[in-house]
Chain A
């Protein structure tokens, strides 16, 4: 890791302020970054202090509600010994050379950027201290930084950061900045509020959809309803005659992973006119090769497939012998449907394409993806696409894919003006990138002492890889890694996969495969415990203790720790009123460890969750309130997908359209008590955007089983289109 000082030209260009400041960047060695979808490996980010002491910290990662634009800048500010009230956080434009990998997904922001951000702050602090020592002609060791000043112990004097900025800017950047120890933290590990809360409550936080520039037009779109289909013909005469309509545009499918599905769009002088005109365009579709996709039939076919031998992927030991010698054997099949992310802000961007420039304002998780996709679409260098990263009104993985940005670019080209395209909720629901539907068939063998001696795990799901390469019709080995690297100590293990060609676009959804892996692992463990006549917690303990693989020692230790913490806090084993039950689940994903105990009451069809206790080990916690909020949100999203959310296809088209038939959790059903308990340890900080979700559904269904004896193996429990 090396730290470099930006050139004066860069500093001026970025800051736009008068001279006399210190600007620092941070560079990671190539190969350290793990942004799976990035082509760039030169992260950097920086601090800026002007001569007044006003401090700007750029957040290179994309903000979508997860709080990264507070967590990372606060880590910088802490090491910098900055006064947080003097800090302005700015969302960085897309520029991976300057800010490092900006693709924000996989709960990787904290994992990859926490230490570099601290080093950026510490470097700046050391330079400010050195500058003060120079002025005083004092020893650096006699000087220290505190809350936006540098003090001299001997002289009993102080200089403000503003006074020091110009001198500090001339100093060499320290090779190895000294980081604070835990007891010196000012902001890290505290419940620091989001930096722009005040703007939210007065409606001044601007999201992608709020971008306004002179001369802009507004657009609405209707996509090809079936994946791979196209516009056969359309009649726009009535629409084009409407007052305020600029143009009706046929956007062909752009065959790139993040390209448009294709459709008809209307550009007009306001959104309403565009929507009204779009409804008047008569369109005939060519339905393409996927017009036969019916999810209920597809799931049934996948179930049939995994309930008999499938394609072997991994094998150890002698599974047959384990089953022959078992005291208890049991099998179960778990099924989950497609999910739509449905962030409150739909897909939206504003794009201006001119002959020599392309400027984008987008709610996005991946500015580099926009640069690549628009670069390919427009035939320009990715670097020539200027992307302003706007705050997303929720994203959950959906805004990683920039089809909506490419469409806005096509429209801007068509009308020769900047165009903002905002999808309707119906388009968001019907033409997304869906979380894969999945089936998993598990068979287990348990010996007379309650040890699981054999485990068969057959999975079938259309894979995300199919979005990038449609010829991929089976889950790949690496996508079964969480099963192959089984968390439990299982001597005899077989993993198989089933054929699952995709008939729609499959994409990352918050927690990705961990959603169904966590459901299957935890449900089946609870089932095996019951079949063996054992307490579930005791059974979980045994399974983890049986894992003696030294490579998994840390995973075992940390999984057990959160399991015990959740059990203790959630009152595992306590007496409950009639119709109530407790369920427990534990899962490791995205380098963080989660366990939950859910307390449920079931009367008839009414499922009421009274309480959830979450035990979280994400290593060092940067912001206790932010982390708690992530868990509260994970419980709510977990409950939505456990109870209600499923995207259903009939004849190739999504049946659902809006929140009435894609119902998400509303306030009356939210568990009134959601307790979040953090494991205390010194492990490195890891992300928490995704790992909170997978444990909720199985903890809930395990709790329902405890309360009623009814086992739900198919999610959602209350599908709209069954």
Chain B
């Protein structure tokens, strides 16, 4: 079976785009082949800084033949219908159609269309130019003489040549001939930019790989990564050092070289006064080099590993010397910044440094960094007792936490923010809790990052994230679709993880409302006019009216007294709209994370459907208990019984136009089963409530299980829709009591099964 080899040779492709481009090329070409009936055995894409290539293995030499029958009009139909049929079927005259007959429709024409499959190269020549022209580069450009034409090709950087061959292993393959924007496909490529000269003629994949390897190009990205990693480790080992591995850097570097040559350089050990993280950031970000660790001290060594794209004629001496010069200059900058910061911290008191944040805008609509820091400090102080932290210490920690943002080191290397705060806090002799919070309040930075566990850090981290969320909610900069420029999803997930993993108890709405109050007091957003609209929007998105009322009260209580007394009622509505919408967002995030952890989404929904479910830890405990309960025989049966009750109620309530709720008249309970059920509900109801008040969900559900037998017996023996309308209504009320009892645990209606 023949193979296809395609290589698109161009000027340097940005490293970050290479892996995605290889995958897109593979998918686009193979999908197009399959769509045209060309099924293949295997496909592999390759990418280097200068080429994007694809090998498709085991393609047929041509498309399969196809046969299609097309029904036409009946014999004797008007000429217009016949002409239309001939045109649609591509026939020259009606004699080419067969006449077939059907007992009901009579005689009619049928066209039998045989289509010979086209030769595969012809199909490829049609596909590839289309793929090239529509290639999904994140950013593409025009170039050269042709760039004025509206139809000019766009590519990531100028495309220089195309290689495309097709043929079986045993024969000389042919060039698949096509042209894209003046570039004709051929069977030649080029090797390494500096280590190879002239063009290389290529037949097929093996040949292409071998010849390019001989021309100093390793086409396989994974192999380049292996070479870099192994050589770097070997070099480190030879010096008794360890490579500080960095997967992201390795990815990037493998996209910057076609022929990786790993070399080692060193720098003046005096630079090791600078914190390791800063040295690493300098060397990694600016120079794309690896750093090395001394296993005896655990600290960085004064060496680095660079990856060049050249096997230099002097063995790399000049390249190492050049890189060392640049790194020396960079590190002396870093050292200068580090020393300047310490001098500043020693001479300028913290309060004075803090004032400077008044001139730094956090966000145009959310005021300065100083205002933000003060809000965070107030909120963190309020949260401190909840998480078992000292309030004053927490407030100080929050006031200190952002101070490194104005330091020279962080100005130069934003990725060491927080960490520098920790270093500087220690150097200033501040308590360890403050130093730790400076670093940890940014955590978790992502789903794999650790969560702070020290009480002061927890309080500051929560306050920081909640202030961000509330602020952006207030100015209506919520995440939409794939757009989340302020990483608000990450912030919400951070709050969730911090609370759950540290078992922090309490209703989320309270700190949220407090933050809203502070933002309002800062008069930072003036969308009061939109509050009404926001509330009506919320009411439309399936918010239980009772839930709305309850939330409104909690928010009003918490917003008002602290800071926003002088605000008109409308601001309460706005606060409510922001708070409840943000809470719904938290619920959504929690749902996603519970689902990812394996919880049933319907159970999560069933718990969230209850009013006031914003104590995240309780929600999770309730979901867990519910899952265990429903796995038992009692749970399953009770679920069935309560669903049955709910279904009957739904139908009858609709018919009657009323909602039934309590008020069962014991005198009207004639059957023993209905009496038993009413007794059981009356006896268990208060006990369940007590268990819930203790937050003992296991006990509450065990009690609920006691309803299973009476419910089952009731449905077996008692007819709800009795002839006597008085009896009927009384029984419906009894069903409503079942519903109410189960709803104290979860909305069973939303549970599947």
Q: Is chain B a partner of chain A in the same complex?
A: no
Write the residues of chain A forming the contact surface with B, with a CB cutoff of 8 angstroms. Answer: none
Write the residues of chain B forming the contact surface with A, with a CB cutoff of 8 angstroms. Answer: none
